[in-house]
Structure 1
C-alpha cells in the first residue's frame, strides 16, 4: 500500500480537555493519544499510514466531495460527504472530561444521511504505543475490544438503524488486527459507534443515549462560549480560536499544551520535527492574555496556580527555578527518543517524542511568566502569600543569573549565548515584580530588584544595540540582528 498523507490543514480537532484527536477531511482519525495529550498514540497514521493506526469512516461505492465544519459555538466536528446519490455526515466529538484526571475517554462517531442513500464503511486499526505494542482483538455481537498490555479500547455499537432488506444490514469483518463495518443508510437514518478507553465490556448503545451524549456535549461548549465577554468584530473567528485554546487545556491541572501533535516537520523532508504536546511556560503565559481578554478568568487562574506550583518544585542553582516546558501534570521527564520504525509525515525523519530542549536555560520565560501573573492580578486573580513567596524567591534568583549565557528562545541547540531577548524579558520579570510589590505592599528585595532591572537596561543599550543598523542584535557575539539561519556567515547563524 502506497503511503498517502493528507495536508496538515485538512484536519479538524476534537477533544475532551484531557486529550484530543485529529480528523481529516476524508473522515479518518489519524492522530489520537490516550489517556492524555502526552501519552503514546493509538492512532498515528499522520506519521505513518502503514504502521501508525487509524479509525476511518467514509462513503464507499461512489465518488464524493467533502467539506468539514464545526457545529457553531462547539467543538463538535461535522465532516460532510456529497455524492450524486445523496448527502451524508460523520459527526465527531468527545464527551467532556472537565474534572479530575481519568483514563476513561470516549470518541463518538455519529453517521447520518441527510438526503438520498449512501453506503458508509468504517474501519478501525489501532496501533498502541506509537505502533510498538502488540494487541489482541476480542469480538462480540455488540462491538469489539482491542487489548494491549498498557491500554484497552472498546468499540461500542450504536443501536440498529431501520433495515428494509438483508442487503442493507450491517456487514462486519475482521481485517488484520482491526475491524471493518459497512452499512447503507437512507435519508433520516442515524447510526454510529463509540470508542471508549478503559477495560470495559462492549455494549449496544441506544440511539437515545447517543443523542443525549451529543446534546450534553453541545450544552457544555455553548455554555462555555456564553461566558465570553468579547463584543468586538469577527466574533465567530475569535470564538473558534478560544475553543481551540480550551481544547488544548488539560482540565485537571489548568496546563495549556503548545499543540496536540508530535513530530510534524517545520519543513517537509527536514529534520526539525519536535514534540509539542507539552506546556511551554512561554506559550502558555501568552495564552493568559487571550483568555483574560475574553473573560475566561477561571482558566487564567488555573494556569497561574499550575505555574506557581512549578516554581515551588524546581530547585535553584544555574538551572533556575523554572524549566521551559513540562508535561501536563507538571512533571519534567521529557526524555527525547526517536521512533525509527515510523516513516514520518511525508518522509520527514526522524520521528521524535519527548523533547530534549526541556533542560535548557532560557531566561525569557521569567519575563513571560511574571507578565502573565501581573496581568492576572489586574483582573482580580491575586497571589496568595505563599504564591508571592515563590515569586519573590524566583526574582531573587534572577537577579543573580540574568547575565548567564543561555540557549535563547530559538532553542538553537548550538551552545549558550547572552541573548538580548532573554535579558530584555528578565527586565520585564523584575519590572512586573516591582509593580506587584508596590501595588499590594508585599515584602520584597525591592531595592535590589530596581538596581538589577536598571543594570539590564544599561547592558542592553550598551552591547545589545547596533547603532549603525538601528537594530538590536540577537546576542552579544552576533554581528547581525537576524535570527539563526539567515544565510550570513556571522556567529548568529
Structure 2
C-alpha cells in the first residue's frame, strides 16, 4: 500500500508529478495542473497509468531527499548487489513539459527496470505507441508523448519497458516530453544540462527571498518551495493542491478536486510570500486575483480555474476505483457555485495587505474594491454556506460575519490613511461597528464564554481561532481566551484541532474526516497572540513532525492511523506553516493586516485593538 505521505512532488510551474517511495510516478496531468491525467494510478491501480524506474527487486527506497533548496528529488536503494540512485525533476517549462529521470550507479552493480504505462484521459485512453531508435512515441487524440533514453525499450503487455544494469559511475537518462499532437515535436532536452539548469533555478529563487536562519529555516524554505511549485506561471494563480479525490476519510465520499485557486487562500498566500520576501510572486498572485474577480461583484466565486475561468463543473469518473477504494473520484468542484460571504472580506483583506506592503496599486483595482465593498454592504447579514463549503442549508456563520467586518475595516482604513483613495469612510466605519456588535450579540455564547460556529447554535468551529488573527478582538481578550479553551476542550483530538463536529454536519455526506492541519496552525497563532508562546511553540514543533520525509503536508491528519489524508501537498497547510514559523521566529504576534517583512512588522491600526 502506498500511503499519501509516501509521495514527493515534482513541478515545472505549470503542472506537477507525484513520485512514490517505490520510484513510481503515479500522478501527472499534462500540460496543466487541471488537465486530464496521463498517470492516474494514484486514484486507481497501476493500470490507470504510471511510470516506475526502480531496481528489479522493487520495494520502497532506502532513503530519499530533495537536493538542497530545490525540487530535484534523489531516491536511493541500497541492495545486496549495490546502491543505485534515481534523480527525478521537471525542468522549468520551456517549449514543452518534460519529466527527466537519471539513474545513477553509486556502488556495485544493480539490475534496473523501467515500466512506462501511459493512459490518457484519467486512465481511459490507451495510446498508439511506436518505436524510432532511441525514441518511443505515444499518440492519442490531442496528446503526443515522446520518451528518449539510450537503453533499449520494448513493448510488453501494452507497456513500454526497459531492463538494464548500472554500475558505479553510470548515469542513464530518461526524458519524457509532451506536446500537442497537431504540432511538430519539440527538441528533446539534454538531461544533464536540464539538471544543472533546474538546480540553479530553484537555488536562485530561494536566494531572492529574505535570508532565513534559525531552527525553522528548513521547514519554512521547503514550504515556500512547495508553494512556488503550486504556482501556475502564466497567470500567477496558485492551486490548492495538484491532486484530486485523495480522501478526507479512507473509504469515504469526501473526495474533492483541489486543482483550482481559492480566493480564501489569498490572504495567507500574500502574507507568506510577502513575509518571505518573494514580492514578485505576491504581485503576480495579486494580479491574478484582480483579473479573476473582475466583473459583477454579486457573482464573486469562492474559487476559479488557473486562468480565472469561472465555470468549473463537477463530474464523477466511475471507471476509477479511487484511492484505497475511496469513491467517487471527482473532477471539477460544485462548491464554486456556493455563497460564502467570507470571500468578499478575504479578497478585500488580501488587497489591503498587498497595498500596505507597497505592491503598487492602480485605479481600476481600487474601483473594483469599492464595488466589492458596496455589494458586501448589502449582503453581509445573509446566511451562507460558510468557510467549510457546507452543502446543506445556509446558516448565519460567525466566521463569515467576522470577515465581513474585516472588509469594512480594511476599506475604511485605506481611505483614512491614503489621500489618493476615495470612499465613504464614515459609512464603512459605521458598518464595521454594526457588524462587530452583531457578532458579539449573536455569535458569542456568554454562558459558555465562547464564540460559536453560527448564530443561535452551540457548535464550535476552528475558524473562530482567526478572530484575533484578523484583529477583530485582541488576542488576550477574555472572549478570545474562552474560545481558545472551548476549542481545546471540545474540538481537539490527540491535541490537534478538528474543523468542526462533523457529527452535527448537514452537508449531506456520511462519514467523518481527518484533522484539518491548517486549524492546528491557527491554534498556534491564537496561543501566541494570547501570550502563550511556550504552548504555541510546542504545538508548532509537533505539527512539524507530521510532515513526510521530504517535508510535505497533505490537507489532513488521521490521529488514529497516524497518517496523512486528503489532497497533497496542500497549500492551505503550507501557508500557515510559513506564517506561524515566522511569527515564532520573530517572537511577536501578527495579524493578517500586519505582514512580517524582513523581521519587522508593518503596523496597520486596528479599529478595535486596545
Using the size of structure 2 for normalisation, the TM-score is: 0.74
1:478/1:492 contact within 8 Å kept: no
Residue aligned with 1:123, SS: strand
Q: 1:485: how far off?
A: 3.3
Matched residue, 1:448: 427
1:182 equivalent to 2:181? Answer no
Matched residue, 1:413: 391
Pick from 4, 12, 26 the counterpart of residue 30 of structure 1. Answer: 26
Q: 1:382: how far off?
A: 2.7
- Mean Cα displacement is larger for which, 481-490 or 76-85? 481-490
Gaps spanning 5+ residues in structure 1: where? 161-169
**4+ long deviations beyond 3 Å:** 61-65, 199-206, 482-493
1:475/1:492 contact within 8 Å kept: no
Q: Give deviations 1:295-340, integer Å, cap 9, x for gaps.
A: 0011011111111112213x24xxx342100110100121001111
1:215 equivalent to 2:211? Answer no
Which one has the bigger helix percentage? 2
Closer, same or farther: CA 290–204 of 1 in aligned 2, 3 Å: closer
Query: Larger RCO: Structure 1 or Structure 2 (Cα < 8 Å, ≥ 6 residues apart)?
Result: 2
Matched residue, 2:127: 135
1:161-172 alignment, distance < 5 Å: 170-172=151-153
Pick from 235, 246, 255 the counterpart of residue 253 of structure 1. Answer: 235
Q: Give deviations 1:88-138, integer Å, cap 9, x for gaps.
A: 11111111028xxx7x20000111111111111101101101122342112
Matched residue, 1:52: 48
1:364/1:425 contact within 8 Å kept: yes
Q: Give deviations 1:184-230, integer Å, cap 9, x for gaps.
A: 01100111211101147789969xx3211110111111110111214
Matched residue, 2:269: 287
1:198-237 alignment, distance < 5 Å: 198=179, 199=181, 209-233=190-214, 234-237=216-219
CA RMSD in angstroms comes to 2.2
1:155 equivalent to 2:144? Answer no
1:359 equivalent to 2:337? Answer yes
1:69 equivalent to 2:51? Answer no
Matched residue, 2:313: 335
Using the size of structure 1 for normalisation, the TM-score is: 0.90
Separation of aligned partners in 2, 1:62 and 1:78: 16
Separation of aligned partners in 1, 2:222 and 2:186: 34
Q: Give deviations 1:39-60, integer Å, cap 9, x for gaps.
A: 1101010111144200100001
Separation of aligned partners in 1, 2:444 and 2:59: 60
Closer, same or farther: CA 131–486 of 1 in aligned 2, 3 Å: closer
Closer, same or farther: CA 202–328 of 1 in aligned 2, 3 Å: closer
Q: 1:288: how far off?
A: 1.2
- Mean Cα displacement is larger for which, 66-75 or 15-24? 66-75
Closer, same or farther: CA 178–62 of 1 in aligned 2, 3 Å: closer
1:74/1:222 contact within 8 Å kept: yes
Separation of aligned partners in 1, 2:60 and 2:20: 15
Pick from 339, 354, 359 the counterpart of residue 376 of structure 1. Answer: 354
- Mean Cα displacement is larger for which, 43-52 or 400-409? 43-52
Closer, same or farther: CA 176–122 of 1 in aligned 2, 3 Å: same
Residue aligned with 2:246, SS: strand
2:237/2:288 contact within 8 Å kept: yes
Separation of aligned partners in 2, 1:214 and 1:74: 11
Separation of aligned partners in 1, 2:14 and 2:508: 39
Q: 1:459: how far off?
A: 0.7
Q: 1:62: how far off?
A: 7.3
Separation of aligned partners in 1, 2:346 and 2:174: 44
1:230/1:293 contact within 8 Å kept: no
Matched residue, 1:166: none
Matched residue, 1:167: none
Gaps spanning 5+ residues in structure 2: where? 462-498, 510-610
